[in-house]
Amino acid sequence: MEQEVKEALHNSVISYDEEGAEKAARRWLELKLDPYLAVTEVLTPAIQEMGARFEKGEAFLPELIMATDAMNAAVRVLEKEISKEKLEAAKKGRIVIGTVKGDIHNIGKNIVGIMLMTAGYDVIDLGVDVEASKFVDEAEKSGAQMIMASALMTFTASQMKKITEYLEMEKVRGKYKLAFGGGPLTETWAKEMGADGYAPDALKAVELVKRLMGK
């Protein structure tokens, strides 16, 4: 019975089945199985499998989004029975992401966010047209370890420096890893604006986060 529900939970993610994910998660709890293990040993490997397929071109972004939605549906059922401490331990780290003030482009940012979630990070997406102060305030409030900002236009990319300046003004720059990305940027420019790292695309962004976060 345990193996059967494991397979149902795993398959619900890779087949983008939110309803099936919720049903399997409830069945998991009915069997008195450890809900923490459902997250770490079943759901996380399943979404990582989808992330690997996406990287190889074997799955497309809409499929990755639907798989993430299915996983989240299961987690919402399971998390009621998992301590906050254990849930935190299941994540590699928390990252605040968003598109800078004056810029409403979100496709690249959204892909980065999904790829980071499939890699095991807790992602707080602030959306687009985000004030520099909001990146920092959210990081402080949520206990994040990293801030990532994107821009797709040269004249909005300069807003990234304001994030660095706000961090310094609040005397919290040393608490966070800071990464910038987007079409008009180069690594040199990102570093000049105070970033610890730069990523030209979603796959490189995940590699960068793993390097900067050390996990």
Number of domains making up the chain: 2
Does one domain contain both 106 and 181?
yes
Q: What DSSP line would sit under 25-40, residue for residue?
A: HHHHHHTT--HHHIII
pTM above 0.95, yes or no: no
Report DSSP state, residue 82.
S
* pLDDT tens string 34-80: 998 998 899 989 998 998 898 889 998 889 889 989 999 999 999 88
Domain interval for residue 66: 2-88
Domain of residue 39, CATH code: 1.10.1240.10
Domain boundary (38, 54, 88) is at 88
The answer to whether residue 105 scores a pLDDT higher than 90 is no
